Structure 1
Amino acid sequence: MALFLDLDNTILPSKEAYAYAIENCAKDWQGRKLGGNFLELYEAARKHVKSQLKHHSSNRLRLLCFKLMWERMGSTQRNGFQTQDIDGVLWMEDRYYLHFLSFYAEEKKKERYQTYLFPLLISLSKEFPIYLTTNETLRTQLLKVRGFLPEEFRFSLITSEEVGFEKPTKEFFQYVMKTANEDPKDCILLGDNWEDDILGASSHGIACIHIPKMWGEGDEVNPLDADETSALQKDWNAHPNPIWRASNILAGLTYARSWLLQSQK
Structure 2
Amino acid sequence: MTILIDVDNTLLDFDKCANESIKNACARFCIDKANEICEIFHPFNLSLWQQLERGELTMEKLLETRFNSLFERVGVKADGIAFETAFHEELAESAVAVDGAKDLLEYLSSKYDLYVASNAPLGQQTKRLKKAGFDKYIKGYFVSAEIGYLKPNKEFFDACFAALNAKPQDVYMIGDSLTADINGAHNYGINTIWFDKYLTKKQADCDYAVTDLSQIRNIL
- Given the two structures, how large is their TM-score scaled by the length of structure 1? 0.61
2:127 to 143, 164, 185: 143
Unaligned runs of 5+ in 1: 70-76, 78-84, 217-221, 233-241, 258-265
Alignment of 1:69-218 (within 5 A): 95-97=86-88, 99-101=90-92, 103-104=94-95, 107-108=96-97, 112=99, 116-213=100-197
SS at match of 1:152: helix
CA deviations 1:59-85 (Å, max 9, x no partner) are 66x6x569989xxxxxxx9xxxxxxx9
Counterpart AA for 1:243: D
Q: Does 1:20 align with 2:15?
A: no
Moved over 4 A (4+): 49-60, 64-69, 92-95
Judged with a 3 Å threshold, the aligned counterparts in structure 2 of structure 1 residues 206 and 180 are, in CA distance, closer, same or farther, namely: same
Count of residue correspondences: 202
Distance (Å, rounded) in 2 between the aligned partners of 1:4 and 1:145:
15
Matches within 5 A, 1:17-96: 17-30=17-30, 39=37, 56-58=58-60, 95-96=86-87
Read off the aligned partner of 1:255 and give its amino acid letter. N
Task: Give the drift of 1:11.
Answer: 1.2
Larger Rg: 1
Are 1:4 and 1:189, in contact at CA under 8 Å, matched by a contact in 2?
yes
The one-letter amino acid of 2:214's match is L
Task: Find the aligned partners of 2:67 and 2:197 in 1 and give their Cα distance.
Answer: 33
SS in 2 for 1:10: coil
Q: Does structure 2 conserve the Cα–Cα contact (< 8 Å) formed by 1:188 and 1:208?
A: yes
- For residues 189-247 of structure 1, the C-alpha deviation after alignment (integer angstroms, 9 at most, x for no partner) is 11100011111000111111111207x6xxxxx9x9xxx57xx5xxxxxxxxx611112
1:149 & 1:256 partners in 2: Cα distance? 24
How far did 1:137 drift? Answer: 1.4
- Deviation of residue 160 (structure 1)? 0.2
The residue matched to 1:203 in structure 2 has which SS?
helix
C-alpha displacement at 1:144, in angstroms? 1.5
1: CA distance, partners of 2:126 / 2:132: 10
Compute the displacement of 1:58 (Å): 4.8
* Structure 1 SS opposite 2:166: coil
Alpha carbons of 1:93 and 1:139: their partners in 2 closer, same or farther (altered >3 Å)? farther
**CA deviation after TM superposition for structure 1 residue 133, in Å:** 0.3
Counterpart of 2:72 in structure 1 is none
SS in 1 for 2:188: coil
Query: Structure 2: which 5+ runs fail to align?
Result: 70-76
Cα offset for 1:55? 5.5
Q: Label 1:122 to 1:189 Cα distance change in 2 as closer, same or farther (>3 A).
A: same
Q: Contact (CA 8 Å) 2:93, 2:128: kept in 1 or not? A: no
SS across alignment from 2:17: helix
Instruction: State the shift of 1:96 in Å.
Output: 3.2
The Cα of 1:125 is off from its aligned counterpart by 1.2
Whole-Å separation in 1 of the counterparts to 2:8 and 2:67: 25
- AA aligned opposite 1:27: A
